[in-house]
Structure 1
């Protein structure tokens, strides 16, 4: 019998990575080559080959918690599959692994470090009950440390004689306090760097080395040789005099006895004027033109000296300030360390540092390496650092004993801002190879079709290479043609080549980005409405027109840009969802609530109160606010007075009266309510969800508000001032709380490149692309190997042009930082482009698009289409008016673009429609009507309090029980129950745990319920028929188009008997009278659903199936629907009518 539990088919390189277990290995896994599958299969292969290993002997280190959870789930599934096919001792062993699945060491590096430290806490002097500070909590501690450190320096004696303390005071005097606080709040990013140079002489030597290197390059250039080859240029000619000056400077530049600074000054002083000179003064026109062209080329070469300058006085001042910054940073870090110690808290850096220290101790290493731990696997190794590599080696047996397996792709290293070191993959791979290990290149893409893979390879060949003259060649990952991606699937005949658009190349930000966003929105809408792009459906593997849900628009950063794209999508009627958004705390709906919380904390905070009053929370107009401000005093006092005046005139419904009543009530309780309860009260009393629900993107806004309430629940013990501080620090520290991801099946996804890592999309639009680094020109302190500082605005002479001065040390540091960023920009481009399965669009906007020389050359080399820049599309909402609340939805003012479909119909929709048709009573009919309306209009139903619930303490619905039974049947637990009831119980218990029911008593009751259903089913005729079948397909997905509607879902089970007859099985958990007549009558409500299943199966395999409805509570009564009856039901099925009927449901039908 063929079943769906077989091991995935592996290609040659995947098999090599999975099955070579006696050697350490480094696997370079290109995008879409099946990295996770290899990790899971190697994990299982190690357990298979080593029967005496417990499951905890294999460690798998992942980059994120979600990746760890996904891998743990996939390992669990593979173990369940092994249990379902194994026998005897083998089955007992796999069942033992399953029983310990929650103890597996599949974890992030920080989770693993935490385990090691708690087990050896005394050895590193920490309390074993320490808490781990997440980024937000660490940021709060850092803010406290900053306040203490600044107080320390404010009270310090300036006459201590300590030059570093004096330098720190100089920083506090010369720099704006806001700038100082901004730098010091980020002190952790400067920890562990080398100290600044001790003396200016060191910097001068560096300047001379850098300058001489660049001068040598200039002197060796073709331009210099051409200039020097010009014989006797006429001194009386203006162009001739320029050439003579250039020849003198070039000869001086080659003279080792001339000081470097003089050479640089001489070359930078050269003048270039292509229009100077007259041909009659030269020997001939050819020589004249040659001289002008050579001078133009030399001008380009000399640009390399543009930022090279050394002024000893400036360097002295800059170095004093740099040491001052260094002192301040390290004092803040010292205070921060003390606060963590007092609070028994470790941050993520501490976890790595202390775990590394522990694993360097022979006694600790002996406990783990080769004893508790036999093998260590590290995923996403390109995003690790040297310390994490040391930890992995400390846990594992020796490299020569095959104890380590790393997998990743240096081309996808994009997390330098989190401490990732792109050079570590190469260094570790070479170390593994020296120890006799294996290097495997996985380059077969299972994601992208062959034509697109070919174009991407040519594109990467032109993009991924070191920049000329870079100071950081080790940071660049050069594309290797010998290991270029190949494609598993062929291209469709009508595939679309990569397309590049240069939009508004003469524009300036933000205008050019606005234009680009509009072009993208209009182009996507045009593609979808015209059905001009074909993609391959993942479920059916058949071509179909691209829908909105197939598109992902990727941005390098959301900062300052995402709002333009969101607005363009709204204007052009393109449904979208923003993922990993603008910064969660910067979203409008979140800022509204934060401002109101700030006003409740301090009603005299006019700015916060004005923002809250003007927001949808209270919706006061500009006129209302002007009225309040005209009264003088604080805004709260004015609100109180104006509300009393309006009340005297019996204007009790006036917005100001409403705002005053609600705000006063909230003020009265804000001091003693937990943050989450206060937020829920605000939302309820202001009717905030209804207000934002009418706005564009209202559903996303609601989801984000729900998330803020969840965050408040996590901080439930915090007083209101502490909760506000937590929110503000989270925002300042840029802790990226992602906007809640809605069901994006019918929407364009707008996300960052980092947010798309590990994902894939049928169509990718890489927007605002740039291969340049974008330095922060405001940053007062920057860092490469050490820190450097921008000069303060206020110069020593009292002038305000200090910040225009740049020391060589700052210039050098900035160049090294920018070179590393430029290398990562190439890798970001690689990651973004390889997310595409079927089609890729690239666009750039503004002047930056003209400077993308490397990309332009690569595009030409890859034969990428570069259509003419599209005209700025018509903006449907260009003439905006204020829309008052007249009862009309805002959508009435939207463009006349075709509205997106409500959504795809699901099999559940069809089943509920059938139940509505066949309901036995008005009560039941009302139930299904209400249920359908709830699903269609979920946003308008439950208040937030009931949207989240504790599944651990409640019995699930029959539908959830049915889902668990289905899962158990998928893993053949019904068969296992006959052979080994105890192991079957463990499998069911594992499935119930995985579903979120973790409290022992509730879990036991659910397990018993599921087991009782399975026992009854195992004895039924239908179970015996399935057991004897030739082929069985479980949880078979399908998509079918009919009457212009798409229906999707899963068939519970399909089997083929030995006479090649197909049967669809649909399991039900309904409660019905236990007699054949009642069950047959009840089953009629599912005939429409089964008719759709039969049509989908016929379309897919050409079979004419029978359908059977099996009630798991009464499995001996099976309702059989022959093909003829299914055909009759299908003939009356009108999906467009069902969809229209559903669309007519109101939230309160």
Structure 2
């Protein structure tokens, strides 16, 4: 087979005796070139190399497999041409043991061959992710428990400062985050120890001279640069046709003034800079432009934006003196050190737990390899390699790394240790990648490693460290290449994206497309919608579906085999999303409604599929039958086979003392032995509870499927092949779990919940046929390395996710840990200067990462690139240049689309109102077919009528697609309020103004209304009503009850302190408290009663059918029987002005409580009551 390579590609294939760094642009054929270089080394006439003396490191198993197959195929081709060549015969054998592998597999190879040198158990096992996550959770709980038991004041202060009351695991999350960062460093303990110095300064003078202050000055200067860019963009917007041109001189003045301020602050003292910025003021906007008011407002809004940006510099970095910032840092040091202590404790404990089980994880593989290959590693990054590393360095003739831009520090040290890159006379290092496609920041990849190499490696052909650039793109048509270049030459820079988008970074056409086919333009479709977010996304998805249909109907692509142009098919099209999980249902519905065949790449919802959810519900009640929601779910699943009405009926035999649904089910079954369905279900449940104690989880599940015929049932359901594959996959997952160090159903269910919580669900079983004629829908990350004739990049208006920047600890592997200072007296929290510097750095890196992700998405297209997003006013958007503020892909695209290169793009606006017109057009398109059918009446009128009847049927319950099967009373209350709301009232949860209470360190902390409300409810549940009501001194009785509750361990002193005792006394002085106490004497007072009932779906949404049922769950604060009738009471702590406001807010909730109690007791409801602690009164709702 003949191969034709470009000049630059051939240089890479032929170069010898050099360390080589290849910067390979998207579509540049790097895999083929890498394959040919390896084959060239092996078959070199002068110095042939055995294939097993070449180490090739890739980043996925699939890539390693493909590479090995490509090399094997080329060797077989050469061997077929030269069958007598003994060297080639040998290579054909050695290829199977060659180290063409992932970095993890190479590390495992090292460990298995040298385990004695790192004190590893020779019988070690590589644990799966699920087992590791369970073990991490257990170890972390032990670490926190030990810390509490130590009674360490520094720990209590740390919890006081950083543990959020509304999210108890926030401290644990911070520990795990820092642990993960530490493990991306070659020596985790060394990195953690270094972090202790982040907040340690001998003096204020040292702090003033620190790198931290220099970083802040750099961030301030970059902020000035962004403001100047925004001013210039605003000035250009003044000059657009019909624009507010009279404002342009003011923009020029603003630019000069801010530029002068930027120059003036350089070299000044920190506090002086703050004063200069504070003193600065913009001139008054002058001029009377002759234009539309909307244009004036647009310019004023832009100007307000950059004025606020300047004010933000002051508010962010200069709201206090530098010395005060220094004091904040010093005061925060003990807290940061305590968190580091916890991370170190976790690291040691986790390592011990793994050793006790003789297991390792993927991180261990890499760190064992480092320990094996490096004797000493110094703070400056220099190191001494071991004898083992030297042996491998001498053995490997070439060490190659693919996707080098995604390496981290640990991986780089490992590969560098076994290569001779930094050794005189050894040139065996080969690296290939593309910084522009480094999109794994969340995995702590370090594109800086690649960029650092470009400073050392030179283009000189004779250089020992040689840089070769592949710029030609063999994938895409000129129109795609031009639009990609236009976008990224405006936004990708060394500071923002990691690489300067210069002539070396640009793409150049290398592909061959028929000359007689005219070039098309890249499309940007702006969808305008007045609907709320979800509805607007539905409109966007509808437009995407229409675009797919139009592409298949009208667009032609080059056939891969024949090279001729042909009509596009569905399999030629891919729809890419930044985060497809939230789009899954929307885009699925749009495709199905349009009749478009599609396949969605796994989006992590395996455990939420119907067939798996039913099994998990049943397993949950096998583990714990007192789980009410799972019991109801199992009863209405295949395993129970009961309707909502049947499930509701089982409560008829219940007594008030029965708290759990299972108790009521059992009682009903005993009272109605003739109910065979229920008897079978209970028999199945009890049988599998017994079996769960003796069978491994995989055998338990397999037995359940075999005995019940569950696999046959799911196979007969719609999409049965995939459902059956999912069920088989569950058995496989259970089998993998059974091999772990955990045992039993309880831990398996923990594993399932943990996978869902950590968003590690790998998605449904893959039954996808790669050759099927379907549209492929996936994330941009999943699309990396792939190519599609037509590529639709969707959701380009979605704002970048900046949640990580608001975390308690903002972390960077180089800059360290950014924490907040907490004032111990006033309980105020503010970010330290360290945290501000790291946030600024991470914000820049976040935008850079998003630029690279967009680059990957756009460069997947071969022949047609279409981008789609929402836009409030498309005409306004396209008529003004970009502002320099990048919050979304639409912002990144705008400079190219509205600037000098706008001719490369076709910008089309589409209003969701157009959906009616386009839907009508689709109907009319079928008119010819309908006429044919109608014309056939004379030929076979009976057949015609049957066809007409079947195809004219309209599903009457289309709205039930949105129907959910389970909800809560609070959700129903919200739904009711939203339907009744006239705009004067916004629903909110129980809310009381925040107050301050003492915490661990003796300071005060703000108490949220939700925390206080919870405390009131707990006190009312635990208090002895009879004792307090009968006491002559109720205030004293209440105090004694609260002390008893604390002594029992049911509530802490801190929680009890959130309750105002005078308000509790006011309640017990009321008539309703007297009635409840009397009911309690007769054992007729029921507190905190959980319930599950079925309600008509129409009560939730007006357009849902009343024939459908939704499961409602909730907890009733209290109900009591008085004078033979039932009263339902709900406690509220809301701060309100009147009782009417509470009635309006909670009537629907109390109605459901009443209905539930009526079904529970069989008694009539006398009153629905609210007791308001804020008003000190009982409110009759009904």
Shorter-chain TM-score above 0.5:
yes
State how 1:736-747 maps to structure 2 within 5 Å.
Answer: 736-741=761-766, 742-744=768-770, 745-747=772-774
Cα gap change, 1:444 to 1:171, in 2 (>3 Å):
closer
Pick from 19, 43, 47: which aligns with 2:14?
Answer: 19
Matches of 1:583 and 1:867, distance apart in 2 = 34
Unmatched segments (≥5 aa) in structure 1: 1-5, 228-239, 280-287, 467-471, 878-887, 898-1149
Pick from 848, 856, 868: which aligns with 2:894?
Answer: 856
Cα gap change, 1:647 to 1:108, in 2 (>3 Å):
same
Matches of 1:587 and 1:351, distance apart in 2 = 35
Contact 1:252 1:263 in 2 (8 A): no
Aligned to 1:598: 620
Q: Does 1:348 align with 2:343?
A: no
Aligned to 2:982: none
Aligned to 1:84: 80
Q: Does 1:142 align with 2:169?
A: no
Q: Output one character per residue of 1:1064-1095: Cα deviation in whole Å (capped at 9) or x when no partner.
A: xxxxxxxxxxxxxxxxxxxxxxxxxxxxxxxx
In the TM superposition, residue 397 of structure 1 has moved relative to its aligned partner by 3.6
Cα gap change, 1:169 to 1:12, in 2 (>3 Å):
same
Matches of 1:891 and 1:153, distance apart in 2 = 69
Describe the SS at the equivalent of 2:908: coil
Aligned to 2:489: 461
Cα gap change, 1:893 to 1:590, in 2 (>3 Å):
farther
Aligned to 2:127: 133
Describe the SS at the equivalent of 2:195: coil
Aligned to 1:944: none
Aligned to 1:985: none
In the TM superposition, residue 761 of structure 1 has moved relative to its aligned partner by 1.7
Q: CA RMSD in A?
A: 4.5
Matches of 1:249 and 1:461, distance apart in 2 = 24
Aligned to 1:178: 169
Q: Does 1:448 align with 2:487?
A: no
Q: Output one character per residue of 1:141-177: Cα deviation in whole Å (capped at 9) or x when no partner.
A: 2112102101211210335xxx567535754587842
Contact 2:497 2:851 in 1 (8 A): no
Contact 1:171 1:321 in 2 (8 A): no
Task: Count residues in correspondence.
Answer: 837
Contact 2:811 2:817 in 1 (8 A): yes
Q: Does 1:816 align with 2:841?
A: yes
Aligned to 1:117: 111
In the TM superposition, residue 181 of structure 1 has moved relative to its aligned partner by 3.2
Aligned to 2:757: 732
Cα gap change, 1:48 to 1:184, in 2 (>3 Å):
same
Contact 1:382 1:425 in 2 (8 A): yes
Q: Does 1:436 align with 2:459?
A: no
Cα gap change, 1:830 to 1:561, in 2 (>3 Å):
same
State how 1:77-476 maps to structure 2 within 5 Å.
Answer: 77-88=73-84, 90=85, 92-158=86-152, 163=154, 167=158, 171=162, 176-191=167-182, 192=185, 195=195, 197-199=198-200, 202=207, 205=213, 209=217, 213=221, 254=264, 260=270, 264=274, 267=277, 299=307, 302-305=310-313, 308-309=316-317, 310=319, 312=324, 315=328, 321-361=335-375, 362-365=385-388, 367-369=390-392, 371-398=394-421, 401-433=426-458, 436-465=464-493, 473=496, 475=498
Contact 1:780 1:789 in 2 (8 A): yes
Cα gap change, 1:704 to 1:221, in 2 (>3 Å):
closer
Range with greater deviation from structure 2 (692-701 or 407-416)? 692-701
In the TM superposition, residue 674 of structure 1 has moved relative to its aligned partner by 2.7
Aligned to 1:533: 555
Describe the SS at the equivalent of 1:120: helix
Aligned to 1:788: 818
Matches of 2:841 and 2:851, distance apart in 1 = 16
Q: Output one character per residue of 1:397-425: Cα deviation in whole Å (capped at 9) or x when no partner.
A: 44654311111111111112222111111
Cα gap change, 1:176 to 1:219, in 2 (>3 Å):
closer
Cα gap change, 1:217 to 1:822, in 2 (>3 Å):
closer
Contact 1:464 1:476 in 2 (8 A): yes
State how 1:621-660 maps to structure 2 within 5 Å.
Answer: 621-628=643-650, 631=654, 632-644=658-670, 647-648=673-674, 651-652=675-676, 656=678, 659-660=681-682
Q: Output one character per residue of 1:738-790: Cα deviation in whole Å (capped at 9) or x when no partner.
A: 43331151222121111111111222111112585311167433322323346
Matches of 1:847 and 1:189, distance apart in 2 = 40
In the TM superposition, residue 666 of structure 1 has moved relative to its aligned partner by 3.1
Cα gap change, 1:587 to 1:534, in 2 (>3 Å):
same
Cα gap change, 1:682 to 1:306, in 2 (>3 Å):
farther
Pick from 543, 564, 589: which aligns with 1:542?
Answer: 564
State how 1:616-1015 maps to structure 2 within 5 Å.
Answer: 618=640, 620-628=642-650, 631=654, 632-644=658-670, 647-648=673-674, 651-652=675-676, 656=678, 659-684=681-706, 688=710, 699-717=721-739, 718-741=743-766, 742-744=768-770, 745-769=772-796, 773-776=800-803, 779-784=807-812, 785-789=815-819, 806-845=831-870, 852-860=890-898, 861-862=901-902, 863-871=904-912, 873=915
Matches of 1:683 and 1:876, distance apart in 2 = 45
Cα gap change, 1:296 to 1:644, in 2 (>3 Å):
closer
Matches of 1:223 and 1:376, distance apart in 2 = 50
Pick from 64, 67, 90: which aligns with 2:60?
Answer: 64
Cα gap change, 1:444 to 1:706, in 2 (>3 Å):
farther
Describe the SS at the equivalent of 2:468: strand
Cα gap change, 1:521 to 1:52, in 2 (>3 Å):
closer
In the TM superposition, residue 265 of structure 1 has moved relative to its aligned partner by 7.2
Cα gap change, 1:251 to 1:9, in 2 (>3 Å):
closer
Matches of 1:108 and 1:815, distance apart in 2 = 34
Matches of 1:78 and 1:219, distance apart in 2 = 56
Q: Output one character per residue of 1:329-383: Cα deviation in whole Å (capped at 9) or x when no partner.
A: 3322232122223333333233223323433355535653454211111111111
Cα gap change, 1:167 to 1:572, in 2 (>3 Å):
same
Contact 2:406 2:445 in 1 (8 A): yes
Aligned to 2:587: 565
Contact 2:529 2:912 in 1 (8 A): no
Contact 1:694 1:890 in 2 (8 A): no
Range with greater deviation from structure 2 (211-220 or 665-674)? 211-220
Matches of 1:465 and 1:253, distance apart in 2 = 23
Matches of 2:447 and 2:826, distance apart in 1 = 44
In the TM superposition, residue 222 of structure 1 has moved relative to its aligned partner by 11
Cα gap change, 1:215 to 1:430, in 2 (>3 Å):
closer
Range with greater deviation from structure 2 (292-301 or 95-104)? 292-301
Contact 1:616 1:692 in 2 (8 A): no
In the TM superposition, residue 302 of structure 1 has moved relative to its aligned partner by 1.4
Unmatched segments (≥5 aa) in structure 2: 186-190, 236-249, 290-295, 376-384, 878-887, 921-948, 959-1182
In the TM superposition, residue 835 of structure 1 has moved relative to its aligned partner by 1.3
Matches of 2:952 and 2:624, distance apart in 1 = 38
Q: Does 1:55 align with 2:32?
A: no
Describe the SS at the equivalent of 2:905: coil
Matches of 2:311 and 2:15, distance apart in 1 = 53
